[in-house]
Structure 1
Amino acid sequence: MTVSVCIPTFNQSQYLVQAIRSVVNQTVPAAEIIVSDDCSTDDTAVVLQQLAQDIPTLRVLRKEKNVGIAQNVDACMRAATGDFVVRLDSDDFLGPTFIEQLSALLAKHPAAAYAHAAVQEIDQNGTFLRQRLLSRAPGFQASEEALQAAKKGYRVAANIIMFRRTALEAVNYSTGRPNYVEDFHLSASLAAAGFGNVYQSEILSFYRVWTDAGKTRQRRKLLEITGLYKVFDEVLEPAYKQRKWEVASLTRQRTSFACAQADCLGWNIYTPQEEAEITHALKNLSASGQTSFFIWIHSNGLGFIPNAYVKFMERLRLTVKQMLVKGKS
C-alpha cells in the first residue's frame, strides 16, 4: 500500500519546513508529498523551491489565484496517487510513526474510509498545550455508529487524517463542500455513504493553535455557521430520512449548535450588516425560540451568563472524558 501526504497551504511559510520534514522523517516513507500553495503572498514559493532541491518525492502545485480552503484541499488530494491519502495542514506536523501506524489500521479495516489518532496541541512557538483525546474506545467504528455520532459535531481530535483514496473518490473528494467546515461535511458524507473509520488513542501528530491578531478566524464565523447548516441540510437529514431514522434529534442538535454559535454576537467586532447576516444564518440553522433567545442574550451584552454555564459544563465533560479514557485504556 502506498501513501501520499497532501499539504494545502496559504501564507504559512514559517511552519511549512517542519510539516514537510516531519513527513520525510517517517518510519514508513510516503511515496509522494504534495504541497498545494493557494497563491501565497509570503515567501512560501521560495521555501518550497529550496526544499524540492533535496526532497525528490516533493511535488508542488501553485494556484494562480486564491481559491479558498475547500477547493485547495480538493485539488491537493485529487493529485494524490497513493492508496492512502494523508491530509496535513501546513502549520501542523506528524510524529515519526504516523504513517506506519495508521496505514496498518486502514489495511486491517477495509470498511474504514479514514484513520485518525489523538493529537498533541501546541501553540505558535511549539509549546505543548493540552492533549486532544476522544472519549470513544480505540478501534473500528461502523458507518451507522459514525453517522449517529456526526450529529454532535466533527468526531476527530484534529483534522490530521489518513484517508482511503477509493473512499474519497466515492464521495467526490471535497467538491461542492462549504469553504469552511468542509472537513466535517466530508466525514459526515463518508459515513452517509456507508464507510466507517478507525481511531488510534496514541498521540501521533501535533496540532497548532496560534494567536490570530487580525481576528480572521472570528470573521469566518458566518462561513462556519453556514457550513454547519449545509452539513445538516445536505448530508445528515437526507441520510437519516433514507434510513427511516427519526430526525427530531437532528433538530435538537441544530438548535444546540445555533445557541452555541450565537456567542459571537457579543464579540463587538462586527458591523451592523455583518451582525444581521450572522443572525439570519443562525435562524436558518435553527428557527427555534431557544435560538432567538440566545441571539437576544448575546446581542444585548448578557452573554456572560450562558458562557459561565458553558465553561462549567466543558470542565465537567473534560473531567468525565479523562476518566472514561483512563477506564478504557
Structure 2
Amino acid sequence: MTPMTSPAAAPTVTLVVPNFNHAHYLPESLGSIANQTRAPDRVIVIDDCSTDDSIAVIERFLSDRPSWRLIRHGTNQGVVRGQNEALAIADTAWIGFLGADDALHPTYLEKAMAQAANHPDAGLIVACCEIIGPKGPSAKRMLRPVMLLAPASAMLTPADIRQALRFGDNYFSGTTSLYRRTALQALGGFDVKLGSFSDAFLARRLALTYGCYFIAEALGYWRIHGQNYSTATATDPASLNAKLAEIGALIAHSKLFPDGYDNVFARRNRFGAARMVLGGETAPSAKAARISALLDGNELDTQLLRLLLSFGSAGHLAALAWMALRTRPMSLTRLLAQTTARRAILSATPGYRAP
C-alpha cells in the first residue's frame, strides 16, 4: 500500500506598513492591501508618532479586520527600527514592507505567494514596480528596476545574482519584495546604521546567500513625491558619502559580492542620486552644484553642468549622458537588449488606479 502524504501547508505572509505623517496616502496604500486577491495573513501598521490624521485613517481599516494590528510609537524611532520590531513579532513564513505612500497591484500577493510555495528556500521573491507621482500616474510610465534581473520570470541562484550585479543594480524594490522571515533573521535583520540603504543592502545579501525568484511583472507602485525617506537621504551629499563609505567597507569584507563591487556600488548609487536631482524642480545652478557634489566632483564639473543645463531639455539629456559616462552605472548593451521585455511588462499591466 502506497503511504499517503499530506500536501505542504500553504506559506503564510505578513505585510508591514511603516507610517509617519502619510495620512493623505494611507487610503491608497492600505486600500491596496485590503484589495489583494490573496489576502495577507497578518498586517502590521507601525505609526512612528504621526502628528497628522494617520491614526484615524488606520483605525478605519482596522475596525473590521481582526488580522490587522496597529503599533503606535510615543516617540519617533525611524523606519528601520520599526521594520526590525515587526520582524521580531511576525510569525509567518514570509514578510513584506510597504511604504505608507506606495501601493500594490491587486494580484501582487497571489502571484508572489504562489512562487513562495514553489520555491520555499529562496531568500526573497521580487517583482517589478511602476513609478507614480504625488497624485497618481506619471505622465510617462516608468518601470523599475531600470535593468531587469532576467528577461522573464525565473528562479535565480546566488551565482546568477553575482553575474547580474556585474551588469546592473537596484534590482530589489522594497515595494515589491517579500522576504523569507527565517532567512532575514539569520542575516541579522535590517542594519539601523545604514538608514534608507538597509533594505536594499540586505536584499542583495539575501539573494547572494539563498537566491531569489524574479517576477517579470509590474506588481507595485513606488510613489515619488520629494518627501520620500530614501530620496531625502540619497540626495544629501554628506549623508550619501557617509553611507557609501560604511557600506563599501561591509562589501569589501564580505565574500558574497563580486570583486570590486564596493567601488561599483558607490558609482551606481552616485549616479542614481544625481539622476533624482536632475529630474527635480530646483533651479539649474543649484541643481548643477548638488549633482557635482553627489558625484564627488569639483568646480569644473559644476561649471560644465551649469552650462549644459542652460540649454533646456537638450542640455538635460546631455547632462544625463555625462553623468552616465562619469559613473558607468550599467551595461548599455544589456539595457538596450531588454527594451522589448521592459515594454512588454508595462503594456501587460494597466496604469495605476487608486483603490
- Give TM class, smaller chain: 0.7 to 0.9
Give the fraction of aligned pairs with identical amino acids, expressed as a percent. Answer: 22
Taking the aligned partners of 2:193 and 2:340, their CA distance within structure 1 comes to 36
Cα distance change on mapping 1:270 and 1:41 into 2, 3 Å: farther
Unpaired stretches in structure 2, ≥5 consecutive residues: 1-10, 279-283, 309-317, 349-355
Cross-structure match for 1:182: 198
* Letter matched to residue 50 of structure 1: R
Cross-structure match for 1:75: 85
Cross-structure match for 1:223: 239
Match of 1:110, SS? coil
Cross-structure match for 2:69: 59
Cross-structure match for 1:130: 141
* Letter matched to residue 339 of structure 2: Q
> Superposition pairs for residues 68-107 of structure 1, below 5 Å?
68-107=78-117
Cα distance change on mapping 1:50 and 1:267 into 2, 3 Å: farther
> Superposition pairs for residues 225-240 of structure 1, below 5 Å?
225-234=241-250, 236-240=251-255
Asked whether 1:302 is paired with 2:305, we answer yes
Taking the aligned partners of 1:260 and 1:157, their CA distance within structure 2 comes to 14
Cross-structure match for 2:217: 202
Taking the aligned partners of 1:181 and 1:16, their CA distance within structure 2 comes to 23
Match of 2:243, SS? helix
Task: From 297, 321, 324, give the equivalent of 2:338.
Answer: 321
* Letter matched to residue 81 of structure 2: Q
Match of 1:39, SS? coil
Task: From 32, 38, 45, give the equivalent of 1:28.
Answer: 38
Cα distance change on mapping 1:100 and 1:251 into 2, 3 Å: same
Unpaired stretches in structure 1, ≥5 consecutive residues: 283-290
Count of aligned residue pairs for this structure pair: 306
Contact 1:132 1:157 in 2 (8 A): no
Deviations 1:273-309 (CA, angstroms, capped at 9, x unpaired): xx8xx96xx7xxxxxxxx76x3343444635557242
1:269: how far off?
8.1
Taking the aligned partners of 2:36 and 2:113, their CA distance within structure 1 comes to 12
1:147: how far off?
3.7
TM-score (norm 1): 0.78
Taking the aligned partners of 1:211 and 1:81, their CA distance within structure 2 comes to 34
> Superposition pairs for residues 87-166 of structure 1, below 5 Å?
87-128=97-138, 129-133=140-144, 134-135=147-148, 136-137=150-151, 138-150=153-165, 152-157=168-173, 159-166=175-182
